[in-house]
Amino acid sequence: MTIELNKIYCGDCLDVMKDIPDKSIDLVLTDPPYPFEFIECWSKLGIVSKGLLKDKHYCFAYSGSTYLPEVLSRVSEHLTYWWAHILLHTGAHQAIHHRRVMSGYKPILMFVNGDKGIERDGYFKDTIYGAGRSKKLHKWGQAVAELAGLIDHYTEEGDTILDPFCGSGTTCVAAKLLGRNYIGIDISPEYCKIAENRLRNTEECLFKESK
């Protein structure tokens, strides 16, 4: 299979990555599922990012907090942990019932392919203010606007962004709006169709739309 830019591919990311040239991706930006039944996704993220990211380039991944040590351990087998950004939720806190915690934030983990990341001009604040709940198209969806700052700071126009767990396509929509190329991968045919439809109809107003 020949992988083309600016398309969504349905399948397991480990299978699809075989058709993507090594060291051809400028940024990995994704939101893998958080429940422990999907913990293997984090190992896959590390493998895919190690093989496809350019040296010194970054991987960003939204994460829950419950299994954070295991998440860090699995990804760090392949990439170097760099930082943890904080996404502050707007509105009410979320009840994490099995830990009896009212959570008002979410980690966005940052890894680098290599021992040191490529230096960007200026500094990036590690606190990101949420754009509100955006679950209309995906129960675990994030908002397009929350990704825009990361993409704008850590890539240039024409760079290629990979989301190996793209869900309904929020990362790809944000990339398209900001003049970046994208490759989206998801194992769900249903969400791949949703993502493709969103991308066909992408307009500036989608910064306010849900994932």
Q: Is the CB of residue 6 less than 8 Å from the CB of residue 181?
A: yes
Residue type, 94: Q
| Measured CA angle at 179 (ends 176, 185), to 5 deg | 40
**Amino acid 153: pLDDT:** 95
Burial of 118 (0-12, 13-18, 19+ CB in 10 A): middle
Q: Which of 81-90, 123-132, 200-209 has the lowest mean pLDDT?
A: 200-209
CATH of the domain at 81: 3.40.50.150
| Measured CA angle at 193 (ends 65, 170), to 5 deg | 40
**Amino acid 89: pLDDT:** 85
The count of structural domains within the chain is 1
Q: Which two tokens stand for residue 107?
A: 């980690």
Report whether pLDDT(46) > 70.
yes
> Model's pTM, two decimal places?
0.90
Which one is predicted more confidently, 69 or 207?
69
**In 63-205, beta strands by DSSP E:** 80-88, 94-96, 101-103, 105-112, 127-129, 160-163, 181-186
Return d(Cα 152, Cα 143) in angstroms, integer. Answer: 15
Q: Residue 161: inside a domain, yes or no?
A: yes
Report whether pLDDT(139) > 70.
no
Domain of 187 in residue numbering reads as 7-208
Q: Residue 2: inside a domain, yes or no?
A: no
Q: Residue 136: inside a domain, yes or no?
A: yes
Give how far Cα 160 sits from Cα of 103, 154, 157, 190, Å. 33, 11, 9, 24
Q: Residue 1: inside a domain, yes or no?
A: no
Q: Residue 190: inside a domain, yes or no?
A: yes
Report whether pLDDT(136) > 90.
no
SS percent in the chain: helix, strand, coil, step 5:
35, 25, 40
Count CA atoms within 13 Å of residue 96 on its CB side: 14
